[in-house]
Structure 1
C-alpha cells in the first residue's frame, strides 16, 4: 500500500493531466521568471498560462521551497 502524497506535490498528477505539461517544465518557467514573490508568480501563472489558483499556488510553493531539486 502506498502512502498518498501530501502538500503541494499532491496536486501534480492533476496539473500534468489538465495542462499537458510535466511538472519540471512548470518549475523551469517559475525559476526563470523575472518575478520573485510567491503571489506575483501565482498571479502570472493564472493570467499567462490559465492555471487555477490552487494549482498555481502548489507549483510556486513547491518550486520556491526548492523541493525536488
Structure 2
C-alpha cells in the first residue's frame, strides 16, 4: 500500500479497534447512534466508561459516526 492509498483520519483506527475489542465498526456506530442528544465528548466518555474503549479509539469512532450522521441529515 502506497502512502497515497493509506486510510487517513478516524477510519485509520478501525482495524485496530475491531481487533482489540472484537466487534465490527458497525456495532460501535450503532451504539453511538443509539445515544441521541449527546455531545461528541459525552459520547467519547460514555464509550470509555461503559464499554472500556481507549480515548483515541472512542474519539475516532465518535468523530466518524457524527460526520456520517451530518452527511445523511
The verdict on a shared fold, with TM-score over 0.5 as the criterion, is: yes
Q: How does 1:1-69 map to 2 (within 5 A)?
A: 1=1, 3-66=5-68
TM-score where L is the length of structure 2: 0.86
Number of aligned positions between the proteins = 68
**What is the distance in 2 between the residues matched to 1:11 and 1:59?**
8
User: What secondary structure is seen at the aligned counterpart in 1 of 2:12?
Assistant: helix
Q: Which runs of 4+ in 1 moved over 3 A?
A: none
Unaligned 5+ residue runs, structure 2?
A: none
Larger radius of gyration: 2
Q: Which has the higher helix share?
A: 2
TM-score where L is the length of structure 1: 0.91
Unaligned 5+ residue runs, structure 1?
A: none
